[in-house]
Amino acid sequence: MNRICIVIGSRANYSSIKSVMRAVQDHPDLTLQVVACASALLDRYGAVVNLIEKDGFPIDARVHMLIEGETPTTMAKSTGLGLLELPGVFERLAPDVVITIGDRFETMATTLAAAYMNLPIAHTMGGEVSGTIDESIRHAVTKFAHIHFPASAGAADRIIKLGEPPETVFKTGCPRIDLVAEILKGTGDDVDNAIFETGVGKSTLRSPSRF
């Protein structure tokens, strides 16, 4: 049975990967491993780790890697701290694949740790363009990753232009759309409550910084 390890560092990460976690958990030949880290563990950012557990996903490891300050300097230091802590987690869990999400600092730490440990890396939301440090991280992660799940045709094309084999690139769309489809089945207050609970559209309100 293949072990699929998903590293979640924020509320935004969780809403981007929740439907994938469900699919892995429900698959008879896969075992889901969940690593919660960074702002996902902190009360002031909504403690999304509690929501993850409430949704029925056991947490296999918790990694505290967020240094106070919310500056470019502390972001760089937090990345380094994550790189120190995550290898021990991966060694213990021995995943067959590590899934990392998007372009945050914990995404870079996750990717570097997995790459040095020769673990296959799957990356979601790659190939997008923003013109910020996020874009640099996103493209760097693309070059380390072995399997790519971009959200759009344009993003998929960019990944291929970066030199990744086309057969490793799967245009899947953003998994948040699965949550939106569920939300739209409700009406009125039900929709508002569901949006808040899932984190769709609310992550920027809870985390105004890159943390």
Range of the domain at 91: 2-206
Summarised one tens digit per residue, pLDDT across range 88-115 is 999 999 999 999 999 999 999 999 999 9
Whole-Å CA distances, 183 to 69, 152, 160, 198, 201: 35, 22, 33, 9, 12
The closest alpha carbon to 54, from 198, 178, 203, belongs to 198
pLDDT band at 136 (very low <50, low <70, confident <90, very high): very high
Counting runs of H as helices and runs of E as strands, what totals does the chain give?
A: 9, 6
Residue 22 lies inside a defined structural domain of this protein: yes
Residue 94 lies inside a defined structural domain of this protein: yes
H or E stretch covering 143: helix 133-144
Residue 173 lies inside a defined structural domain of this protein: yes
Domain CATH code at residue 158: 3.40.50.2000
Q: Which residues, 6 or more positions from 52, have their beta carbon under 8 angstroms from its beta carbon?
A: 8, 14, 34, 36, 40, 59
Residue 211 lies inside a defined structural domain of this protein: no
pTM metric for this prediction: 0.85
Share of the chain above pLDDT 70, in %: 88
Residue 68 lies inside a defined structural domain of this protein: yes
pLDDT of 73: 96
Summarised one tens digit per residue, pLDDT across range 177-194 is 887 877 787 655 555 565
Residue 48 lies inside a defined structural domain of this protein: yes
Summarised one tens digit per residue, pLDDT across range 49-90 is 999 999 999 999 999 999 988 899 999 999 999 999 999 999
Which of the residue ranges 15-24, 138-147, 155-164, 200-209 would you say has the lowest mean pLDDT?
A: 200-209
The total domain count for the chain is 1
